[in-house]
Amino acid sequence: MITLSQTKEILAVFNAFYRHAFQDLSEGDAELMATMWQRKLAPYEPEEVNRAVDYITSKNKFMPSIAELIEVIEQNRNPELQTTALEAWSHVLDAIRRYGYYDYTGASQQLSERERSLVKRVGWGKLCMAEYKEMEFIKKDFIAMFEASKSEEMQQLINNHNQNIKLIENKTMQIGNGGA
């Protein structure tokens, strides 16, 4: 669980990279920001947060929101979320080339859980037997389903994160009230 002082250190790092984002921030606002960020980051370990900060500061030109930071943390926790729809489609095509129509079992072992689920929805036989023109439509549908699936999983992770925050807040309040 990340502490308030660790959160302030993270914000100091962001300040070093994104000075413009902090230039009009009063001391009171900075304290409130640190408190709010700490509350949102409470379920995460400092190492996870620091990895995400390192990634963001090497990629982003602008200061990230807390939601963007949490998204990177969750993607690091769940590497499958980093796979793009086109990469997944490429995995499916590779499996078709390697295993063909008759060895779905072998092909499915090469695919991620999400890719297997989408292949089942489309149909292995349909994928293997599709003509070139039809394959473009299948690809479009696959990519749309992949993005929807990924978005649903990310939303579920955010919902779980918010529930964890509420549990931590309740425990903190109980401790503050003498365990009552």
Q: What is the pLDDT of residue 76?
A: 83
SS3 at position 35: helix
Residues contacting 179, CB < 8 A, separation 6+: none
Percent of the chain with pLDDT over 70: 91
Can you tell me the distance from the alpha carbon of 2 to that of 142, in angstroms, rounded to the nearest whole number?
Answer: 39
DSSP assignment, residue 24?
T
Does domain 4-77 fall into CATH 1.10.8.200? yes
Q: What is the pLDDT of residue 14?
A: 93
Query: How long, in residues, is the chain?
Result: 180
Confidence of residue 81 (pLDDT cuts 50, 70, 90): low
pLDDT tens by residue, 96-120? 988 888 888 888 888 888 888 899 9
Can you tell me the distance from the alpha carbon of 164 to that of 68, in angstroms, rounded to the nearest whole number?
Answer: 18
pLDDT tens by residue, 114-155? 888 899 999 898 999 888 888 889 999 989 998 898 888 878
CATH 1.10.8.200 spans which residues of the chain?
A: 4-77
For the four alpha carbons of 7, 9, 10 and 15, in that order, the dihedral sign comes to positive
**Predicted structure pTM score:** 0.54
Can you tell me the distance from the alpha carbon of 161 to that of 170, in angstroms, rounded to the nearest whole number?
Answer: 14
Confidence of residue 8 (pLDDT cuts 50, 70, 90): very high
Angle at 51 between CA 48 and CA 53, to 5 degrees: 110
* Mean pLDDT confidence for 163-170: 72
Confidence of residue 178 (pLDDT cuts 50, 70, 90): low
pLDDT at 35 over 80: yes
Tokens 């994160």 — which residue?
A: 161
AA letter at 114: R
